[in-house]
Amino acid sequence: MKEIKFYKTSSGKSPIEDFLDSLSSKEAQKITWVMSLIEDMENVSTKFYKKLSSCNDIIEVRAQIGKNNFRLLGFEHKGSFVVLTNGFKKKDQKVPKSEISLAEHRKNEYLSRGD
């Protein structure tokens, strides 16, 4: 069971909220449902939540709606909550390096601010 927080830029914008707002209501509902699983369950299936290998402790939240795959990246912090940094529609087998780099950059920024 982990609390989910959304990363905010230094200007107060939330990339996750912007991403969710860009989706259809059905897509956003499914992603919100997956996030509630993470918050409510002690052990969440890797179908929905897992740490990426060869990354700086970056996690991915996974949702599939029909043939569309969506990912939210972020990191666990202080063992009790997850900070989600960015989201995207996944088109290939691998998570794009640019998305991982963005998550790592936002993680470092978040930790340096001491939020």
Structural domain 3-113, CATH architecture: 2-Layer Sandwich (3.30)
Q: What is the pLDDT of residue 91?
A: 85
In this predicted structure, the answer to whether residue 79 has a pLDDT above a threshold of 90 is: no
Show the DSSP H helices in 4-114 as ranges. Answer: 15-22, 25-40, 97-113
- The DSSP H or E segment spanning 66 is none
* 3-class DSSP assignment, residue 60: strand
pLDDT > 70? residue 54: yes
pTM (two decimals): 0.93
114 pLDDT above the threshold of 70: yes
What share of the chain has pLDDT > 70, as a percent? 99
pLDDT value of position 98: 95
Q: How far apart are CA 59 and CA 27, in angstroms?
A: 20
Is there a contact between 60 and 44 (Cβ–Cβ < 8 Å)?
Answer: no
Residue whose token pair is 């666990």 = 76
